[in-house]
């Protein structure tokens, strides 16, 4: 778990509190186990009470210190803050050490078909909730030398992938906020780390193409028609298959988050997985025209119905073969 750390680790000692959101499944669920095993006091925020109850059952009475709660954090982070305060007051010497903003949602879809309320819903959980939670907990974090805020973004935080505008926007916003927060908190020795996973084998990541297809099906008929139902079905099927082939073990991301929690000098950015480091990051640094040519080829391996003509195919081919200079 901690093989990526090259310096002495910060120990939990049963005193340092780590707050984690998005613990119902995937990375958050695995991170609760890793942090608890490292002797941190864990406050695990879930969306579903059933999931929170399962976490309580798993850790109660076996020596771990895990506070599991459920709430819709887009409505209010106050219930979570209250549990954090309870955990801090439970024993003398406890201190708030880290806040991990991991909860997220991904509503995918072609930009022409994605309704504006998808952006509102996405920003609520992916951006506004982390900002509110950090705002409420910063006074406590500042009391602990070396404490940290860890925000889970995505490769979509540094490169805007096709048909994912709402998610891209929310992750870019969280990265910008994190970069500002890091500098603002330097005098107080509150460290800020950004976690940028590639595609991981989690329900959120693997559900992307299902979300994309749902957006397509719910769009107005006149907007769907130029693409074609058969085209959309084939695109969803191919995309899902490819996603399953490239998805990485989420424990790669968990290990990086644990490094951000335990390292005495955490990195500012963690690009999680080989694809994030060696494909998406280099691609994001190409000239705009070259990058766009790669992305449009990925987005349209087959032309939509309205462009499935000799003229349309030629137009698409030209945009790929001869990208305009930035």
Does residue 62 form part of some domain?
yes
Asked whether the predicted pLDDT for residue 306 surpasses 60, the reply is yes
Please tell me the predicted confidence (pLDDT) of residue 61.
83
Does residue 181 form part of some domain?
yes
State the average pLDDT over residues 252-278.
Answer: 97
Tens digit of each residue's pLDDT (9 = 90 or more) over 189-214: 999 999 999 999 999 999 999 999 99
Does residue 1 form part of some domain?
no
Does residue 210 form part of some domain?
yes
The CA distance from 102 to 241, in Å, is 26
Does residue 263 form part of some domain?
yes
Q: Look up residue 72 and give its two tokens.
A: 């819709």
Does residue 317 form part of some domain?
no
Asked whether the predicted pLDDT for residue 41 surpasses 70, the reply is yes
Does residue 108 form part of some domain?
yes
Does residue 212 form part of some domain?
yes
Tens digit of each residue's pLDDT (9 = 90 or more) over 16-32: 999 999 999 999 999 99
CATH code of the domain in which 75 resides: 3.40.50.720
Kindly compute the dihedral angle of the four CA atoms of residues 173, 178, 180, 185, in this order, to the nearest 10 degrees. 160
Burial class of residue 319, CB neighbours in 10 A (0-12, 13-18, 19+): middle
Tens digit of each residue's pLDDT (9 = 90 or more) over 119-156: 999 999 999 999 999 999 999 999 999 999 999 999 99
State the average pLDDT over residues 78-86.
Answer: 98
Question: Which phi and psi angles does 227 have, rounded to 5°?
Answer: -90, -45
> What residue numbers bound the domain in which 25 lies?
16-220+249-285
Q: What is the mean pLDDT of the chain?
A: 93
- Give the count of domains, the chain: 1
Q: Look up residue 267 and give its two tokens.
A: 């990195």
């Amino acid at each position: 778990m901690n093989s990526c750390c090259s310096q002495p680790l910060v120990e939990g000692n049963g005193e340092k509190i780590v707050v984690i959101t998005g613990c119902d499944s995937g990375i958050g669920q695995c991170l609760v186990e890793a942090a608890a095993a490292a002797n941190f006091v864990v406050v695990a925020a879930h969306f579903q009470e059933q999931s929170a109850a399962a976490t309580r059952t798993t850790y109660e009475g076996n020596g771990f210190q895990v506070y599991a709660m459920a709430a819709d954090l887009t409505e209010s982070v106050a219930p979570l803050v209250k549990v954090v305060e309870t955990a801090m007051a439970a024993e003398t010497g406890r201190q708030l050490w880290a806040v991990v903003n991991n909860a997220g949602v991904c509503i995918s879809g072609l930009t022409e078909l994605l309704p504006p309320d998808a952006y509102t819903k996405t920003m609520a959980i992916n951006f506004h909730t982390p900002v509110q939670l950090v705002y409420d907990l910063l006074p406590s974090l500042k009391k602990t030398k070396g404490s940290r805020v860890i925000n889970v973004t995505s490769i979509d935080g540094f490169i805007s992938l096709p048909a994912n505008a709402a998610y891209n926007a929310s992750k870019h916003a969280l990265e910008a906020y994190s970069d500002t927060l890091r500098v603002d908190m330097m005098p107080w020795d509150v460290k800020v780390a950004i976690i940028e996973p590639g595609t991981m084998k989690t329900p959120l990541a693997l559900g992307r193409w299902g979300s994309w297809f749902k957006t397509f099906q719910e769009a107005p008929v006149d907007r769907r028609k130029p693409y074609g139902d058969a085209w959309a079905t084939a695109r969803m099927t191919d995309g899902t298959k490819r996603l399953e082939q490239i998805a990485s073990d989420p424990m790669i991301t968990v290990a990086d988050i644990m490094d951000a929690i335990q390292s005495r000098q955490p990195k500012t950015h963690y690009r999680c997985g080989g694809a994030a480091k060696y494909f998406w990051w280099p691609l994001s640094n190409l000239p705009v025209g070259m990058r766009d040519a790669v992305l449009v080829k990925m987005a349209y391996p087959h032309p939509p119905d309205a462009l499935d003509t000799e003229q349309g195919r030629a137009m698409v081919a030209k945009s790929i073969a001869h990208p305009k200079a930035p």
